[in-house]
Amino acid sequence: MSKNGKRLTSGWLENYIEMTRETESPDIFHLWCAISTIAGALGRRVWIDRGFYKLYPNLYVVLMGASAIVRKGTAIGIVEHLLREAAPDINFIAQKITPEALIASISTQYSKTKVSDAYIYAEELAVFLGATFKDANMIALLTKMYNSPTIMDYHTIARGKQTCNNICCNILAGTTPEWIKDALPSSAIAGGFTGRIIFVYQPYIDKKVPFPHVTEKEIKLEQELTYDLKIIHTLKGEYTLTQEAIDWFEDWYITVFRPEESDPLLQGYFGRKHDTLLKMAMIQAASQRNQLKVTEDDLEISLKMLNTNESKLSETMKLLMTTQVGSEVRRVRGIIARRGKISHSNLLRSVTHFANAQQVSEILKTLVDSEEIKEVVVDGKRYYVNIRKGG
């Protein structure tokens, strides 16, 4: 298998899924880990010309599911090993880090290679970033790095001006709904950071493997995948679309692409979907061939992968938006639902351990406005009655 010769016949992504099929991690986790791995191998060496900017195939991928249930760490660990083996020159970052330390790392990388490269691995995103995730500087930094700016200087008190030009940042991380909602400040959502993340949500495992083992076939396939990934890591230059691919993309963009009609919580994600689709198409093309051509099939397959993952995206964003206030609303509603009917004074006594009178007033207004409860007055006393079925 030479750089210009024949590679794995059915493609890197397909063969990777085959190699990992007998693990307990969901196939969709393995797929997006594999996609992220190719993105990391390609780095900033390939692009699509978008007129006023170059589009690079970097991605922020976050696997989401219950801790110790859906095997996020297993899926991440397998691809980390492969990419480290195939591309040891990548600037891997897998420890807790501050914004200043991240800048120092990529600035050092730039001085060596003239590319400010970073591949961030984290089995638990919130733990990896620690308290700095609540730091607006880290959020702003990662948000800016996603766009792969050509010029970026960063000033710190300790080191002064640091040059981090030619940014290329990939993230592959895991998290749980509980960790991420506690760690993310509201500004991360409102400011667009989550709109740059591909959340891959899986609430359960769909297969159990009591005694996993690696077969000779899987060992051979891993060797071939590593070899192919080394070749992918050498690809360099501009990706161009075939005429059929151009026609397909124009038709999709004009007749199907409607980000303004999406859920307001998801408009940051869907507003970038056209570029994400092209990033994915480069990755799919690299999975299949060495030629820097994006075909109509590459676009169709990439869109299918995005659409499949998006089926759980609304549920994911609702989990992210479940704030402490939302938790208090559910607790108050639960009390009313269990009683069926409760007086205002009794309700106040029931919630004094987690909400004051003003908070309760705001919560009750929310529940009344959403038609989950109703307020009635009997003999001059206020009561709240559950009116939504299902408790």
Provide the residue-wise pLDDT of the chain in tens; the chain has 391 residues: 344 555 777 899 999 999 998 887 899 999 999 999 999 999 999 999 999 999 999 999 999 886 666 788 889 999 999 999 999 999 999 888 888 889 999 999 999 999 999 999 988 887 776 654 455 678 788 989 999 999 988 776 667 778 899 999 999 999 887 777 666 665 566 457 888 999 998 877 777 777 777 889 899 999 999 999 999 999 999 999 999 999 999 999 999 999 888 877 788 899 999 999 999 999 999 999 999 999 999 999 999 999 999 988 877 776 666 544 556 776 788 899 889 999 999 999 998 877 788 878 878 887 886 678 999 999 999 999 998 654 4
Closest by CA position to 45, among listed 290, 301, 300? 290
Alpha helices in 43-135 (DSSP H): 72-86, 99-113, 125-129
Domain limits, the chain = 12-320, 324-386
Give, in degrees to the nearest 5, the angle at Cα 272 between 232 and 32: 40
Q: Angle formed by the axes of helices 27-42 and 273-288, to 10°?
A: 80
Strand runs labelled E in 267-322:
293-294
Using only C-alpha atoms, the chain has a radius of gyration, in whole angstroms, of: 24
Phi, psi of 363, rounded to the nearest 5 degrees: -65, -45
Phi-psi region of 43 (alpha: psi -120 to 50; beta: other; left: phi over 0): left
Q: Which two tokens stand for residue 95?
A: 């420890």
Architecture, CATH, for domain 324-386:
Orthogonal Bundle (1.10)
Q: What is the pLDDT of residue 157?
A: 63
Q: What is the pLDDT of residue 391?
A: 42
Contact of 224 with 15, CB cutoff 8 Å: yes
Distance CA 63, CA 74 (A): 11
CATH number of 12-320: 3.40.50
Q: Whole-model pTM?
A: 0.80
Contact of 275 with 50, CB cutoff 8 Å: yes
Q: What is the pLDDT of residue 181?
A: 67
Residues with Cβ within 8 Å of 355's Cβ and at least 6 positions away in sequence, in order, are: 328, 332, 363
Q: Which two tokens stand for residue 30?
A: 């393995």
Q: What is the pLDDT of residue 272?
A: 94
Closest by CA position to 364, among listed 324, 322, 336? 336
Residues with Cβ within 8 Å of 46's Cβ and at least 6 positions away in sequence, in order, are: 56, 57, 235, 236, 237, 238, 239, 282, 286, 292
Residue with tokens 């994915």: 280
Same fold, 12-320 and 324-386: no
3-state DSSP call for residue 365?
helix
